[in-house]
A and B are shown apart, each in its own frame.
Chain A
Amino acid sequence: ETGVTQTPRHLVMGMTNKKSLKCEQHLGHNAMYWYKQSAKKPLELMFVYNFKEQTENNSVPSRFSPECPNSSHLFLHLHTLQPEDSALYLCASSQFSGSSTGELFFGEGSRLTVL
């Protein structure tokens, strides 16, 4: 148990569906992250939120829409996805100090399959 909980763990959706991934951290951290992990590729940073403000959008297509209502919760809204978006989506949190990203605490991931 890392203190970061992701739901659902598995999701299958069609290209026209709308779904959301949820992440909650119980560690009192001030930064939250979405990463995408595809086979044979390095982890790709998608979005970063510091103190609920988005500080990084790594050229992510608009069919991925993040939401951070407070420093403990992070969502990733999905719509009109493509089969190549199938991947493991990892949420993480950290205590950002201003001089370092710090150690990341990851959730178990949401395995997304787009048909």
Chain B
Amino acid sequence: SQQGEEDPQALSIQEGENATMNCSYKTSINNLQWYRQNSGRGLVHLILIRSNEREKHSGRLRVTLDTSKKSSSLLITASRAADTASYFCATDARRSGGSNYKLTFGKGTLLTVNP
């Protein structure tokens, strides 16, 4: 399976600290995406990093991708209570034997930022 696996499953930090979440996957990918989900709501796309990119920034977010290790990390700097949510990585890859692409999600990391 090319499913992403996030680590840790849960993370609790204080406001102002940095939060780092990791994602590992098993097969070659086209791109890797990170999403955020507030409790009971839909997912919101945060950032997409292509397989030929190594690092990407968006505001307080920094994503790295190491295709040799099949892993990615999401860093949220100077966290705020409003960053409390679940964070998912999703790998986009060509389906085996087919021409379609499939985006596969991991189970997510639950981040709690305490005021």
A: which residues have CB within 8 A of B?
A: 2, 4, 6, 35, 40-43, 45, 48, 55-56, 88, 90, 92, 96, 99-101, 103-109, 111
Contacts and interface: CB of A to CB of B under 8 A. Distances in A.
Q: How large is the interface on B (under 10, 10 to 19, 20 to 34, 35 or more residues)?
A: 20 to 34
Most buried by A among B42, B100, B108: B42
B77 interface: no
Contacts of B108: 42
Q: Main secondary structure on chain B at its contact with chain A?
A: strand
Contacts of A103: 33, 45, 48
A108 B45 contact: no
Interface in B10-60: 30-31, 33, 35, 40-45, 48
A89 to B, nearest CB: 11
Interface in B76-115: 88, 90, 92, 100-108
B101 A100 contact: yes
Most buried by A among B3, B44, B100, B103: B103
Contacts of A43: 43, 88, 105
Interface of B: 3, 30-31, 33, 35, 40-45, 48, 88, 90, 92, 100-108
23 contacts: A41-B107, A42-B104, A42-B105, A42-B106, A42-B108, A43-B43, A43-B88, A48-B100, A88-B40, A90-B42, A90-B43, A92-B43, A96-B101, A99-B30, A100-B31, A100-B92, A101-B30, A101-B103, A103-B45, A104-B45, A106-B42, A107-B42, A109-B42
Contacts of B33: 103-104
Contacts of A99: 30, 101
Contacts of A92: 43
Contact of A101 (B35, B102, B106): B102
A2 B92 CA distance: 21
